Amino acid sequence: MAKSIKIRAKSKGGITTVKALITHPMETGLRKNKKTGKLIPAHFIQEVVCKHNGKPVINCEWGGSVSKNPYLAFKFKGGKKDDSIELSWKDNMGKSDSITAKIR
């Protein structure tokens, strides 16, 4: 189970709504450490992909301007109760996470 992602997906009237909260520092590389005065290294999510039953429905390319602990919500046509939704992310430091959930 993903430690950094919380996801919910609901289908109503042929439209599936996906809501996700990702825990991530999302550092731009431009902020300074208040104690040392040195720049905090850039650490941000670069790619987010969501798949419905193995087929991509959204592919996001993010940068350092996205806020800490980003919230992502979107809708797509299709999807039925108990279908599979998989959300994954990769960051600029090579870390990644993913989660699979069922549509309610």
Tens-binned pLDDT, residue by residue, of the chain (104 aa) = 579 999 999 999 999 999 999 999 999 999 999 999 999 999 999 999 999 999 999 999 999 999 999 999 999 999 999 999 999 999 999 999 999 999 99
Q: What pLDDT, on the 0 to 100 scale, is given for residue 2?
A: 72
Q: What pLDDT, on the 0 to 100 scale, is given for residue 95?
A: 97
CATH code, 5-29+42-102: 2.60.40.10
Q: What pLDDT, on the 0 to 100 scale, is given for residue 72?
A: 98
Dihedral (C-alpha) 54, 58, 63, 68: value to the nearest 10 degrees? -80
Containing 50, the helix (H) or strand (E) segment is strand 45-52
**For residues 20 and 7, what is the distance between their CA atoms, to the nearest angstrom?**
4
Q: What pLDDT, on the 0 to 100 scale, is given for residue 1?
A: 55
